[in-house]
A and B are shown apart, each in its own frame.
Chain A
Amino acid sequence: MAKLIKIFLFFSFYSFAVWADGLYHKNSLIGGRASGMGGAYKAISDDASGAFYNPAGLVYSDGDSISGSANSYVSTKSTYKETIGNRDWERETDNLLPNFFGATKKFGKYTFGFSYVITDYMKENQNQVFQNLDELADPIDLFAFNLQSEDATYLIGPSLAMELSENLTFGVSLFYHRRVFRRSQSQLIQFGDGSDYSSYQNLSKRERGFHLRTGLLYSLEKHAFALTLSKAVMQTAIADSQANTKERNSSATDFGRRADVDRPKYPYEIGLGYAYFASPYLLVSADFDYYLHSEENRRNMWNAAVGAEYFLNSTYALRTGFYTNNTNSRKPSEIADEIPVEYMNMYGLTAGIGIHSKSSTISLGVNYGFGSGDARIYSSENSASTETKRFERQILGFLIAADYGF
């Protein structure tokens, strides 16, 4: 019984957690071509998605004006091992959304852009019921919970890129940053002795601020080198929560409400990129990102990506990539009094095909992400538990994107 109660607490405290929660910086790969190459795109960046990866690359966009859009379908499954009694707890979600639109236009040595990017998005709708948990010391007849949540981070704004010299370009994107988080959850437990527990919780959080992304791109024959620096600064961040709970041995329902202003400190992102344009058919690239965190319980961390593109002919191009999606969370053992704690580094493999015509390119891609780690999700009512559980996550995404050159 005790363990199951801990799970309830886990849900209660798990307010802004899991997936789209700032623990990761590469939950979404942006752009058709870039995502096929694992997001290793900083030293390429020569289509509209360059506004996000490295605006300096927009100088090299092919044509006077280009635009691009991408739509993705992502399915995610997380499994927490032997978490509810001796049973696994699974969380599944799938989302279909347009995650990028951008356009650029050249004016002499200057290239202007405007883009809309969803860097992170997760929507959950779970209705789960566990019955006859007789293996627990305090048997439970029914454990049901419903969960509806949505967490999305949007960026929208202009970009400017320019040639500093024949081999050096500079670019900057200034995005308006908006994050919206909403979660409603209800739980009901009916114990074997006839008593029951129920709760309902509603949480919301809104962030507004600015996200600056700058970059340099240096070209030396067939080699290109990129340096980027990015930082998001929030102007407002309001969190609001409401909860009503009926304890097991009580007939009364308690109601509580809390509103907080807590501006998150997003990390400085320093990025390095390299691309080798081996021939008109073959291109390989690599990115490295380092994130400098100043928030408590977040650690400095890095991500890397490598990608390649090979043209079979002037119409079809194959793309592939590998990337890391490391967490910025500290290990459960390093954080004594916080619930929940997830520590898992993820890896991703991507593959895609580009179909080129005179005026447009269609990109189709698939992205498989995977990882496993430790999670501390149990808590006693008065203090954090040190017990951790293994958990694993798999992500399967499909993408279709179009780019136009005018």
Chain B
Amino acid sequence: MKWLLLLLMMSQAFASHQQYRKRISQMKVEYDEADVLAEIKFGRELAAKILGKYQLLSDQKLQQYVSTLGAGLAQMIGRPELDYHFAVIVDDDINAYAGPGGYIFITSGAIALMKNEAQLIGVLAHEIAHVNKRSVVKKLKIRGDDDSLAAGLGVLIGGATASYRKALESALDKAFDLLFEEGISMKEELLADYLALLTLQAQGLNWQSYIDYLANMDKAIAKGQGEVVQKTHPPTSERIDSLNRHVKSWDESPKEVNQTRFKKYGKVN
């Protein structure tokens, strides 16, 4: 029942202040197989671009730990049509990135800041929420080939095939900018934080530790370890305030943080 509630909440669309302008044709959420394949292909190319900028951490023990945790989490709250991939990249900056198709990266700086497994699960759940919401996909309108009659007629009338392809190519650069420069949307980040907290709550893990992680991140940012996250996310204090408002009516946070396992595998070498 908890999972049902969780999925239900995660299925709620991110609200836009002009959402009412959307017509039903723009709101339809059916993504066919071609759309998913396009998303995966796009996500793979974006992941390659990210790995062109950052090195993968060579610590295989930590990589496997993060991958295992992430895969388990994705089984519970991820989209079933995707194979999620998790990796730790070498960067002292504290951040994590969610690309389309389930490609999720977390920086070594972020892992180093964490105190326990609950915090890591919170961060991974935050990124999975972005993938679930198709944050980048929707923003960049990444869709599969449109072989409908209307699209065919449209090409005949306006001859837009070439420009459409060009637009998809440029979308890769745009996605990179979204993750590293512009951010997706401040409201979506706040919602992803909330969904991360829900995930911890549903698993009986200490959700307060995620808020503590954000507080620690705030201090690290002040020391210069949050160059990207500062540009792409709301101020950390705002994120903490938002979460505190959500948990006001919740029972006391569970104690479990999986400290032992995190100490064994979650140390950055």
Mutual binders A and B: yes
Interface residues of A (CB under 8 A from B): 46, 60, 62-65, 67-69, 71, 101, 108, 166-167, 219, 221-222, 224, 277, 280-281, 283, 309, 311, 313-315, 317, 354-362, 400-406
Are the CB atoms of A67 and B151 closer together than 8 Å? Answer: no
Query: In whole angstroms, how far apart are the Cα atoms of A357 and B28 in the complex?
Result: 10
Are the CB atoms of B157 and A280 closer together than 8 Å? Answer: no
Q: CB < 8 Å: which of A281, A362, A404 contacts B164?
A: A404
Q: Can you report 11 A-B residue pairs in the complex whose CB atoms are below 8 A from each other? A: A277-B20, A311-B23, A314-B24, A357-B154, A359-B146, A360-B146, A360-B151, A362-B153, A402-B157, A403-B154, A406-B164
Are the CB atoms of B148 and A358 closer together than 8 Å? Answer: yes
B2 to chain A, nearest CB (A): 31
Which residues from chain A contact B27 at a C-beta distance below 8 Å?
280, 314
Which residues from chain B contact A354 at a C-beta distance below 8 Å?
25
Q: CB < 8 Å: which of B21, B150, B153 contacts A60?
A: B21
Are the CB atoms of B157 and A401 closer together than 8 Å? Answer: yes
Are the CB atoms of B24 and A358 closer together than 8 Å? Answer: no
B142 to chain A, nearest CB (A): 10
Which residues from chain B contact A402 at a C-beta distance below 8 Å?
153-154, 157-158, 160
A216 to chain B, nearest CB (A): 15
- The verdict on A405 contacting B160 (CB below 8 Å), with A314-B25, A362-B154 known, is no
B166 to chain A, nearest CB (A): 9
Contacts A167-B17, A355-B150, A355-B153 given; 14 further ones with Cβ under 8 A?
A: A46-B21, A65-B167, A68-B158, A222-B20, A224-B21, A314-B27, A357-B146, A357-B149, A358-B144, A359-B141, A360-B160, A402-B158, A404-B164, A406-B167
Q: CB < 8 Å: which of B21, B154, B171 contacts A360?
A: B154
Query: In whole angstroms, how far apart are the Cα atoms of A403 and B160 in the complex?
Result: 10
Which residues from chain A contact B163 at a C-beta distance below 8 Å?
67, 404, 406
B170 to chain A, nearest CB (A): 9
Residue with the greatest number of chain B CB neighbours at <10 A, chosen from A68, A224, A313, A314: A314
Are the CB atoms of B21 and A361 closer together than 8 Å? Answer: no
Q: Which of B196-211 contact A (CB under 8 A)?
A: none
> Which residue on chain A has the smallest CB distance to residue B143?
A358
- The verdict on A404 contacting B174 (CB below 8 Å), with A311-B25, A356-B150, A358-B148 known, is no
Interface residues of B (CB under 8 A from A): 17-18, 20-28, 35, 139-141, 143-144, 146, 148-151, 153-155, 157-158, 160, 163-164, 167-168, 171, 174, 182
> Which residue on chain A has the smallest CB distance to residue B182?
A108
Query: In whole angstroms, how far apart are the Cα atoms of A302 and B116 in the complex?
Result: 70
B193 to chain A, nearest CB (A): 22
Which residues from chain B contact A401 at a C-beta distance below 8 Å?
157
Which residues from chain A contact B182 at a C-beta distance below 8 Å?
108
Which residues from chain A contact B28 at a C-beta distance below 8 Å?
314
Are the CB atoms of B157 and A281 closer together than 8 Å? Answer: no
> Which residue on chain B has the smallest CB distance to residue A316?
B25
Are the CB atoms of A64 and B154 closer together than 8 Å? Answer: no
B163 to chain A, nearest CB (A): 7
Are the CB atoms of A358 and B151 closer together than 8 Å? Answer: yes
Which residues from chain B contact A309 at a C-beta distance below 8 Å?
23
Are the CB atoms of A219 and B167 closer together than 8 Å? Answer: no
> Which residue on chain A has the smallest CB distance to residue B32?
A358
Which residues from chain B contact A224 at a C-beta distance below 8 Å?
21
Query: In whole angstroms, how far apart are the Cα atoms of A281 and B26 in the complex?
Result: 11
B265 to chain A, nearest CB (A): 41
A170 to chain B, nearest CB (A): 15
Q: CB < 8 Å: which of A46, A65, A281, A400 contacts B24?
A: A281
Query: In whole angstroms, how far apart are the Cα atoms of A362 and B157 in the complex?
Result: 9
Which residues from chain B contact A64 at a C-beta distance below 8 Å?
139-141, 167, 171, 174
Which residues from chain A contact B25 at a C-beta distance below 8 Å?
311, 314-315, 317, 354, 356, 361
Which residues from chain B contact A283 at a C-beta distance below 8 Å?
23
B39 to chain A, nearest CB (A): 13
Q: CB < 8 Å: which of A71, A311, A356, A404 contacts B160?
A: A404
Are the CB atoms of A219 and B18 closer together than 8 Å? Answer: yes
A223 to chain B, nearest CB (A): 9
Query: In whole angstroms, how far apart are the Cα atoms of A222 and B163 in the complex?
Result: 33
Query: In whole angstroms, how far apart are the Cα atoms of A68 and B154 in the complex?
Result: 9
> Which residue on chain B has the smallest CB distance to residue A221?
B20
A363 to chain B, nearest CB (A): 10
Query: In whole angstroms, how far apart are the Cα atoms of A166 and B19 in the complex?
Result: 12
Which residues from chain B contact A405 at a C-beta distance below 8 Å?
141
Q: CB < 8 Å: which of B22, B26, B148, B158 contacts A67?
A: B158
A240 to chain B, nearest CB (A): 37
Query: In whole angstroms, how far apart are the Cα atoms of A46 and B155 in the complex?
Result: 21
- The verdict on A317 contacting B23 (CB below 8 Å), with A64-B174, A360-B146 known, is yes
Query: In whole angstroms, how far apart are the Cα atoms of A339 and B158 in the complex?
Result: 43
Which residues from chain B contact A360 at a C-beta distance below 8 Å?
146, 150-151, 154-155, 160
Which residues from chain B contact A314 at a C-beta distance below 8 Å?
24-25, 27-28
